[in-house]
């Protein structure tokens, strides 16, 4: 028997089918060790399918925040302490390694190569962590211990385990070097938010995208720069001036008020000399020399020409900097200024 249905009664269609989110495919992260002499080994290899190699086991330590030394001084007659300051201490990292090979001969080849690459007498090595999206961070460190060896559980001499301990004098992780070049001799505007810009009507693509710098050379002798560091800490840059023609250079951080002035008069538009100002801790030098590719050969020490020696860092977050090339009387200032820096991070 048919059941009558009123047409004016809405029919509940039921719950909507939820959208199924697309699964993000993330490639396997990689950890690579590069010795001080340039040799390298992949520590996150694939030993499945009878492949000999090295793999990192669960339990790595020291890849996140660095240890801090909180300096507190107790009051002589009051409760509590007085805060004096804080600094990041050197970092210790521990990596559990597992080496395996289908036979003893190949295991010995792998193990002996790893022992050679971790030799601290070869100098500072580089530990690089590369994530699935292609981003990477590095930290410079020395091998300290862990490869002494204990093969009591040797599995017929085809595998071995080690807990490699590394010591990093600089406790911070660094991103890849970012290099920015802008010509002071011709007006140009470059927006480094997406790594692209326009110069003389032609598109410019920087080697690396730089988040947060915009330069406009409306005035031939000076330029204001808005900088936003992508790291977690202040960054000490490396300044390079090519084809310099002027009576001096002033680099001023308008946000912090720090500045330095190089009172060096030169016309280097034809002799190919380059001026480099290295503000990084432990270096702090100013030289004129010659560039051969990416290598810089120091020739003339310009430190005596540095009047204000406040070699400032680029602070975390947004800041404004001004670069000015002073003109030689009767001529136009000229020069191509490059800024190199490596973002500094608390963890890998």
**pLDDT tens track for 263-281:** 998 887 777 889 999 998 8
Q: Is residue 1 part of a domain?
A: no
The boundaries of the domain holding residue 86 are 30-171
The token pair at 120 is 């601290």
The reply to whether 202 and 255 lie within a common domain is yes
* Angle, alpha carbons 206-234-216 (nearest 5°): 40
The C-alpha atoms of residue 341 and residue 88 are separated, in whole angstroms, by 20
* Angle, alpha carbons 255-256-260 (nearest 5°): 110
| CATH code (residue 64) | 2.40.30.200
Question: 282 vs 203, which has greater pLDDT?
Answer: 282
Q: How confident is the model at residue 254 (pLDDT cuts 50, 70, 90)?
A: confident
The candidate with the shortest Cα–Cα distance to 123, out of 135, 137, 140, is 140
Task: Read off the pLDDT of residues 35-48 as tens digits, 9 standing for 90 and up.
Answer: 998 899 999 988 87
Task: Read off the pLDDT of residues 69-121 as tens digits, 9 standing for 90 and up.
Answer: 999 999 888 888 989 999 999 999 999 999 989 888 899 999 999 999 999 99
With a pLDDT cut of 90, the percent of the chain lying above it is 34
Number of domain units in the chain: 2
The C-alpha atoms of residue 211 and residue 220 are separated, in whole angstroms, by 25
Task: Read off the pLDDT of residues 113-159 as tens digits, 9 standing for 90 and up.
Answer: 999 999 999 999 999 999 988 889 999 999 999 998 865 555 558 88
User: What global pTM score does this model have?
Assistant: 0.74
The reply to whether 57 and 126 lie within a common domain is yes
The C-alpha atoms of residue 312 and residue 107 are separated, in whole angstroms, by 50
Spell out the residues 6+ positions from residue 166 whose beta carbon is closer than 8 angstroms to its own. 62, 92, 93, 94, 95, 125, 127, 141, 142, 143, 144
The reply to whether 103 and 210 lie within a common domain is no
The reply to whether 126 and 251 lie within a common domain is no
Q: Does 66 score more than 70 pLDDT?
A: yes
- For the segment 212-238, the average pLDDT, to the nearest whole number, is 59
Q: Is residue 210 part of a domain?
A: yes
Q: Mean pLDDT in the chain? A: 79
The token pair at 252 is 């001023």
The reply to whether 55 and 144 lie within a common domain is yes
């Amino acid at each position: 028997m048919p059941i009558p249905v009123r047409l004016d009664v809405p029919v509940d269609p039921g719950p909507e089918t939820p959208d199924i989110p697309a699964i993000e495919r993330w490639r396997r992260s990689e950890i690579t060790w590069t010795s001080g002499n340039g040799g390298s080994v992949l520590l996150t290899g694939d030993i499945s399918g009878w492949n000999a190699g090295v793999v990192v086991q669960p339990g790595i330590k020291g890849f996140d925040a660095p240890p801090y030394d909180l300096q507190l001084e107790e009051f002589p007659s009051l409760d509590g302490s007085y805060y004096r300051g804080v600094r990041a201490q050197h970092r210790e990292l521990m990596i559990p390694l597992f080496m395996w090979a289908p036979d003893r001969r190949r295991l010995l080849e792998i193990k002996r190569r790893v022992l050679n690459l971790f030799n601290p007498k070869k100098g500072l090595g580089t530990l690089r962590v590369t994530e699935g999206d292609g981003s990477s961070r590095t930290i410079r460190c020395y091998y300290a211990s862990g490869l002494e060896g204990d093969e009591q559980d040797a599995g017929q001499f085809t595998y071995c385990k080690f807990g490699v301990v590394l010591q990093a004098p600089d406790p911070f992780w660094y991103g890849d070097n970012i290099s920015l070049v802008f010509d002071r001799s011709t007006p140009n505007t470059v927006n480094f938010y997406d790594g692209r810009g326009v110069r003389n009507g032609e598109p410019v693509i920087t080697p690396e995208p730089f988040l947060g710098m915009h330069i406009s050379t409306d005035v031939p002798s000076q330029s204001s720069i808005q900088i936003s560091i992508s790291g977690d800490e202040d960054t000490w840059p490396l300044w390079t001036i090519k084809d310099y023609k002027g009576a001096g250079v002033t680099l001023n951080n308008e946000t912090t008020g720090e500045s330095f002035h190089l009172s060096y008069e030169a016309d280097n538009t034809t002799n190919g000399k380059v001026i480099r100002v290295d503000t990084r801790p432990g270096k702090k030098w100013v030289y004129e020399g010659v560039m051969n590719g990416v290598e810089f050969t120091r020739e003339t020490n310009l430190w005596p020409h540095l009047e204000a020696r406040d070699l400032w860092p680029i602070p975390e977050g947004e800041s404004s900097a001004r670069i000015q090339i002073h003109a030689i009387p009767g001529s136009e200032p000229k020069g191509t200024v490059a800024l190199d820096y490596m973002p500094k991070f608390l963890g890998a």
